[in-house]
Structure 1
Amino acid sequence: MKIYEGLDHFQAVKNAVVTSGTFDGVHLGHQKILARIRNIADQMEGETVLITFWPHPRLVLHPEEHNLRLLTTFEEKAKLLEKAGIDHLITIPFTKEFSQLTGEEFIQKVLIDKIHTKKLVIGYDHRFGKNREGSFDHLKANIDRYGFELEEISREDVDHVGISSTKIRKALLAGHINEATEFLGRPYELNGIVIKGQQIGRSIDFPTANIHVPSNYKLIPGDGAYVVEVAVGQETYQAMLNIGNRPTVDGIEKTVEAHLFDYNDNLYDKQITVYFKDFLRAERKFANLEELKNQLKRDKEKARQIFNES
């Protein structure tokens, strides 16, 4: 997959089958669209082109929504889009100036003049252009003069179980991991770097990897203990993970800490990926470290049971 920052370096390709959108999470609804454009491109001996926007339009148009968190970083999204068969990923810098482009201008300047779109495929609720004025109905009414083919993915196909990025965010923040996994079609993931913590876990025989997630806009699931898998290089380990302020040791800052089963090597400065499997329990304050240690033993036993049953 080729990635372009802006349209300047993109060269028109043969029979471009195009879609556009933010595609945050690349969930099952998105995957319907991606599979469709891949299928059409194969039939037409063409290439797939996906137009996305960065930063997320809501971060630019509604900066007051400073708490907006995304399901995928750009790197995570790109990896998923490539896996889905996208040939060309164009990232258009989303600015207030770009947001003033009318739907008609977007169609003419981007889809026609620059990309030479052969066929456009969009989801049933997709809107584009200033004030989201562009729509499937507008495209359909003017398709003869645009000179490309058009297809809409129906609500029944995209939204058969009410999938949306917003619903997935809410599920993760509530600790509803199974629901999020079902909507995404895969486990939710966090990518980060292991940094040195206070090493309190080591003192109670539960050493943890303190994970720093570099992207401040990446959604961290709600506080609590989780069953996870952790990928370190080419190996994947069963683990449990805690998200929260560690009230038992009077913690102030929120941390993300994983205890890997059957792993004894140094993890500091390593890049790791966490895959969420299930929710164990809410975070709570224990009377002392011994009580915390006993609870962690029970958590680990339950986590192993979940892995054995899956």
Structure 2
Amino acid sequence: MTSPTAATAYARRDLWLCLARAFAPPATGPDYLASFRADLPEDLAAIGDEIGMHLGAEIAGFRAAAARIAAPMDLQRLYAALFLTPPTPVMVNTCFYIDGGLKGASEQGLEQAYARHGFQRHTHFSDLNDTVGVQGDFLALLYDRAGDKATAGDDIAARAYLAEAEAFIADFPCRWITPLLRDLETVCRSHDLNQAYAHLARIIWLAVESAMKAPESAGIKDGMAQLPAGSARGIGALTAADLAEIAYRLERDGLSWGHVTLHEGWDDAVFAARQVKGEGVETVD
């Protein structure tokens, strides 16, 4: 029987692999679009359930947005409009959000992290180290190794790989996901573009938040905000306090949060109380 540590590690591996593939340039064939519209949300929903991430609202939003993409060329045009066509509105090279440009300290830090674990990009990839896809592939490798160690009964080594993954998330995705998501939301709204990638970016945002709450990250983000008292996250339906916390953090970072209010269990009074409380606890920056 798979140990709980291994099961969680493998689920997080699959999550980051899905997200890495989702942010890669889309292929031209109809099979890719069909997988993007159907298989991707199914996989993300199943993985979210495994690790206690409540992704229902974002997956529903993604399904609706992806269903409006009629042909493979439409998906390619959307990707190009967001990430490729100058002046590029959203930077898939995430070091722009951390260092203000390419080849800065973050790129060097990524290269060192990859080298330390023997990670090499696929030879057909021309991406730099800092793209969403390459970082997702690296995290998948770390979680895969954690799962393998846990399966072999080496719990100490497994936890070391889990801690390494959480440290990497704290050093990199945690620092670029909010500005990347903000840019996506802005350009989709201002140019009336399909919001499929904005929903995927919100799932990354939630994945980062989830990782920063994992036990292995306690030493990395000492004093990080804990879930509200009575929270049901990970063991059942979201409570009103959970929803208020998610909406508060999205609003704090200048991101759209209205979709959270559509979730069953939303309570305006609980959200208002969370707004009044403000930054009484440390949160993910």
Same fold by TM-score greater than 0.5: no
The structure that is helix-richer by fraction is 2
The one of the two structures with greater contact order (alpha-carbon pairs below 8 A, sep at least 6) is: 2
TM-score (norm 2): 0.26
TM-score (norm 1): 0.25
